[in-house]
């Protein structure tokens, strides 16, 4: 019988759960292999040398052996632990939200290097993350996973959007102009300012993140529009109670 194939990958632990008495199942996001689920056998024994290197939100170099049902973690060496998360409950909650969204928007073994970099960058700046940091993360995640909302042309008539009483339809995937709006579209009103912010989140998120003057009402409007859109896109994938719960608090009241 051939020995199992082994390979080393860089990875961030985005989810884990206890398995049996001493094992742990880890979900890893990797730049080269996409999302990988693996079992770390015996990791919960106190003497395990892999313990700590496979904690949540740790970036590690992981040696895996191909298994029949699931790959097995042979070795893990921590490269970066996003330590600022330790002392800040809000940052920890936000990091959970970020990791859960990445998990929910990805399928196994489809590599997306840009998404991996987005995750590392976002977790690295979590301690100073504002509401708009999180919105910028959401917009980039949507873009990287193929769900970028249309914010420039009406999805019904195709004309460029002009200022006015416009709507945003999660079901259609973007904006609907004043002329085309109808109650059966089940679209939410979107203010001119919210539309501007969301467009900027697509084109120049760094500028929006630096803005000091976004009022809380506008922040809430953008957060709610993004939330509804994300929930709609994920549809049945996002039935997890924990994800639903964590979709509410980040970045505001
Ligand atoms: Zn229209």
CA of 160 to the centre of ligand 1 (A): 8
Per the document, the length of the chain is 253
CA of 159 to the centre of ligand 1 (A): 6
d(CA 171, CA 235): 10
Question: Which stretches in the chain have pLDDT values below 70?
Answer: 1-4, 83-86, 236-253
How would you classify the pairing of strands 166-169 and 188-190?
antiparallel
CA of 180 to the centre of ligand 1 (A): 4
CA of 12 to the centre of ligand 1 (A): 43
Do the beta carbons of residue 203 and residue 156 sit within 8 Å?
A: no
d(CA 219, CA 221): 6
Residues near 157 by beta carbon (within 8 Å), at least 6 away in sequence: 177, 179, 180
CA of 166 to the centre of ligand 1 (A): 9
CA of 105 to the centre of ligand 1 (A): 29
CA of 4 to the centre of ligand 1 (A): 58
CA of 14 to the centre of ligand 1 (A): 41
The four Cα atoms 232, 89, 143, 78 give a dihedral, to 10 degrees, of -130
CA of 157 to the centre of ligand 1 (A): 4
Do the beta carbons of residue 178 and residue 154 sit within 8 Å?
A: no
CA of 201 to the centre of ligand 1 (A): 23
pLDDT value of position 4: 63
Do the beta carbons of residue 186 and residue 169 sit within 8 Å?
A: yes
CA of 253 to the centre of ligand 1 (A): 34
- Cα–Cα nearest to 60, from 72, 77, 73, 41: 77
Residue whose entry in the numeric block shows the structure tokens 């769900």:
147
How far, in Å, are 77, 92, 148 from residue 227 at the CA level?
A: 36, 19, 14
**Token digits of residue 153:** 């042309």
CA of 188 to the centre of ligand 1 (A): 15
d(CA 133, CA 140): 11
Helical residues (DSSP H) of the chain, grouped into ranges:
89-105, 113-124, 131-144, 192-203, 205-210, 216-234, 241-246
d(CA 98, CA 78): 20
CA of 169 to the centre of ligand 1 (A): 12
Do the beta carbons of residue 92 and residue 85 sit within 8 Å?
A: yes
CA of 86 to the centre of ligand 1 (A): 48
pLDDT value of position 1: 57
Residue 40 forms beta bridges with which residues?
24
């Amino acid at each position: 019988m051939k020995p199992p194939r082994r390979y080393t990958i860089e990875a961030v632990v985005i989810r884990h759960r206890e398995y049996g008495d001493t094992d742990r199942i880890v979900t890893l996001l990797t730049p080269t292999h996409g999302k990988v689920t693996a079992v770390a056998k015996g990791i919960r024994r106190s003497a395990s040398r892999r313990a700590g290197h496979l904690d949540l939100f740790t970036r590690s170099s992981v040696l895996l052996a191909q298994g029949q049902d699931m790959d097995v973690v042979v070795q893990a060496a921590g490269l970066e632990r996003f330590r600022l998360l330790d002392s800040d409950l809000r940052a920890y909650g936000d990091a959970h939200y970020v990791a859960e969204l990445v998990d929910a928007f990805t399928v196994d073994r489809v590599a997306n290097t840009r998404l991996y970099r987005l995750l590392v960058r976002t977790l690295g700046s979590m301690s100073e993350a504002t509401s708009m940091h999180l919105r910028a993360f959401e917009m980039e995640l949507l873009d990287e996973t193929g769900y970028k909302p249309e914010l420039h042309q009406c999805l019904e008539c195709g004309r460029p959007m002009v200022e006015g009483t416009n709507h945003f339809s999660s079901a259609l995937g973007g904006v609907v102009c004043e002329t085309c709006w109808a109650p059966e579209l089940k679209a939410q009103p979107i203010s001119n300012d919210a539309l501007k912010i969301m467009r900027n989140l697509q084109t120049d998120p760094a500028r929006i993140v630096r803005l000091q003057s976004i009022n809380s009402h506008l922040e809430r409007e953008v957060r709610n529009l993004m939330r509804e859109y994300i929930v709609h896109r994920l549809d049945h994938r996002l039935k997890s109670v924990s994800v639903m719960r964590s979709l509410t608090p980040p970045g505001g009241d």
